[in-house]
Structure 1
Amino acid sequence: MDMEQETGTPRGQPFGAWLVSQTGRSGFIGQIAEAAAGDRNFPRTGDVEAAKKWLQGRRASGDDWEALEDAELDWLSL
């Protein structure tokens, strides 16, 4: 995996920015990306933990948590 030493993120892109870039994608990842893109409070420059806190604040359902987990796996596979 090509990890940036300074940021610890795949290819240097924050998780939040990557997730927002997934709008238009089908399935649960696309749905959570749409929700994130439409929420001014979503941590676009944040990491996975920041996205989890955002979901907690929204009182997310189990499907949302599963979507976030799938998104994290996709992001890490970059």
Structure 2
Amino acid sequence: MTAYELLSMNALALKVMCDKSLNVSDIKYLDLYKEYTLMIKEGHKKTYIMQYLSDQYNISERMVYNVIEKLSSNVDL
């Protein structure tokens, strides 16, 4: 498969990602977001969650907030 074929097969999804400022590298945060939603459902306070995820994924709390905001945004096709 060529790079052209890969891009053309996924053109719609990639265009939406580009329009919403999503990067392919954001895939590394999927587990973080899943853990965040689980902790919210369990009733943990956001301050605790942000601190916990920051320690767990070795990123700043500000970055955790940014990731949560980005992955929580609605994507209209």
TM-score range normalised by the length of the shorter chain: 0.3 to 0.5
- The higher relative CO (CA closer than 8 Å, separation ≥ 6) is in 1
**Structure richer in helix, relative to its length:** 2
| TM-score of the superposed pair, with normalisation by structure 2 | 0.34
| TM-score of the superposed pair, with normalisation by structure 1 | 0.34
Query: Rg: which structure is higher?
Result: 2
